[in-house]
Amino acid sequence: MGATREIAEFIAKSRWEDVPRRAVAEAKRAILDTVGVTLAGSAEPPARIIQKVLEAEDGAPLATVLGTRLRTGGVWAALANGTAGHALDFDDTNFTMMGHPSIPVLAAALAAGELALVDGRALLHAFLLGFEVETALGEVVNPAQYERGFHATGTLGTLGAAAAAAKLLGLDPSETRHALAIAASQASGLKENFGTMTKPFHAGHAARSGLLSALLAREGFTASAVAIEGPQGYLKVLESETADPTAALGRLGAPWKILSSGVAVKPYPSCACTHSIIDAVLELRETHGLRPEAVREITIGVTAMVPKILIHHDPRTGLEGKFSAEFCAAAALVDGRVGIATFTDAKSADPRIRGAMGKVALVVDPSIPGDLEHHMWTRVTVTLADGRRFEIPPREVRGHPAVPLSREELRAKFLDCAGVALSTDRAETVAEMLETLEECPDLRSLTAILRP
């Protein structure tokens, strides 16, 4: 059986009863975090621009744009929510996927779920299927695809979104195969656009394309039976001629990828490659009472892949700062904290931070493991003017599946993010509903309170 057909069969035939409760619990954590960052991101410029365009296009009011009073067509809602959810770069990551797994899948699933009038259990099931598909394909194409310049959130997220939407819309195996094949032709996203509004658009485009593919397939739209594995298909074009999905696809749901590769929840609203840097500088600052003027140099050792991701060495905007090792290290040293307010255009021009940036050196350290699980590790060394040196060696970062945020930390992040768009009482209610999502009888009872 070919890859396209095998994935389609897995999606269409998957039963809620076969999903482990641990996987459901992890999905609820991921959805809680993703809804929170989407609410916060709904007020950001990339999301606002999308909202203006959809208002002008005036889609049928069938689906909710989170954090706003807007209701629009399902495809538009998926685009708007996907873009908002990635606007702050505060959404979760997965190291097998080498991207952001939850936002493209959830944005498509929320819209499809409203169109299909589903319950919370169906949403959870579809989310897990989308997560499974995009991360399984990630095993096949990474790191080669990522190193070639493709943004996995866009390329893999499109297939994950199509999988989730196909399940919620009730597509049979044949229709699901066509949906995946249509989605494969829409998969896109370039790392060259990191640090601009187009990076969050990748997530929105993936969600939109996945849902659109499923809707088209439901109406009889057709595509190649081997669009994923064919000689000119998704895997060969985005990865290489040697791409073989057999092993990865043979493990679909055994075990579920959300349990084996996990979800990394972000404690900072910036590229995941900066988190180890920020953590280390903050710890050294607190432990040794570091003052910016006393620091001569901060050396950041990284794997060979990271300089292709943290591409902005002299950032001039808040968005560029999210992809700058120099800025993130300097901001942590100067301010002693890193949050949403760190990544603004004004902060990127702060003379104290810009002065500290000149002391930061990014170097490739061959001793750091370069595999997918560890490629974001760093070695941070601070040298003071008096010659003293302090170092934080490569290690797991808080939020990684091995060092997860506690329930209290996750909830606190959600409430802080949700507070951008919702009242405190409403945000608390949303959190409670998401933590018991499988008991929600009608998804619309949730989306109704995700509007201010």
pLDDT band at 248 (very low <50, low <70, confident <90, very high): confident
Give the integer Cα–Cα distance in Å for 352 and 69: 40
Give residue 65's Cα distance to chain centre.
18
pLDDT of residue 150: 95
The per-residue pLDDT for range 103-147, each reduced to its tens digit, is 999 999 999 999 999 999 999 999 999 999 999 999 999 988 998
The per-residue pLDDT for range 297-346, each reduced to its tens digit, is 999 999 999 999 999 999 999 999 999 999 999 999 999 999 999 999 99
pLDDT of residue 239: 74
Taken as a whole, the chain contains a residue count of 452
The per-residue pLDDT for range 19-28, each reduced to its tens digit, is 999 999 999 9
pLDDT of residue 242: 66
- CATH superfamily entry for domain 3-267+415-450: 2-methylcitrate dehydratase PrpD (1.10.4100.10)
* 102-116 helix and 152-168 helix, angle to the nearest 10 degrees: 20
Within 10 A of 87 (CB to CB), how many other CB atoms are there? 30
* CATH code of domain 272-392: 3.30.1330.120
264 forms bridges with which residues in the sheet? 93
At CA 43, angle to CA 38 and CA 270, rounded to 5? 60
The per-residue pLDDT for range 55-111, each reduced to its tens digit, is 998 789 999 999 999 999 999 999 999 999 999 999 999 999 999 999 999 999 999
Give the integer Cα–Cα distance in Å for 323 and 326: 9
Q: Mean of the pLDDT values across residues 267-272?
A: 96
pLDDT of residue 240: 66
With beta carbons less than 8 A apart as the criterion, state whether 66 and 414 touch: no
Q: Which amino acid is at 219?
A: E
Average pLDDT over the chain, rounded to an integer: 95
For residue 34, which of 434, 440, 452 has the smallest C-alpha distance? 434
Q: Give yes or no for residue 169 having a pLDDT over 70.
A: yes
pLDDT of residue 241: 65
The per-residue pLDDT for range 391-439, each reduced to its tens digit, is 999 999 889 998 999 999 999 999 999 999 999 999 999 999 999 999 9
- Structural domain boundaries of the chain? 3-267+415-450, 272-392
DSSP assignment of 26-81: HHHHHHHHHHHHHHHHTTSHHHHHHHHHHHHHT--S-EE-TTSS-EE-HHHHHHHH
With beta carbons less than 8 A apart as the criterion, state whether 171 and 12 touch: yes
Give the integer Cα–Cα distance in Å for 97 and 106: 16
Q: Give yes or no for residue 260 having a pLDDT over 80.
A: yes
DSSP assignment of 246-299: HHHHTTTTTT-HHHHT--B--SSSS-GGGHHHHHHHHHHHHHHT--GGGEEEEE
With beta carbons less than 8 A apart as the criterion, state whether 34 and 106 touch: yes
User: pTM here?
Assistant: 0.94
Q: Give yes or no for residue 371 having a pLDDT over 90.
A: no
For residue 226, which of 8, 401, 449 has the smallest C-alpha distance? 8
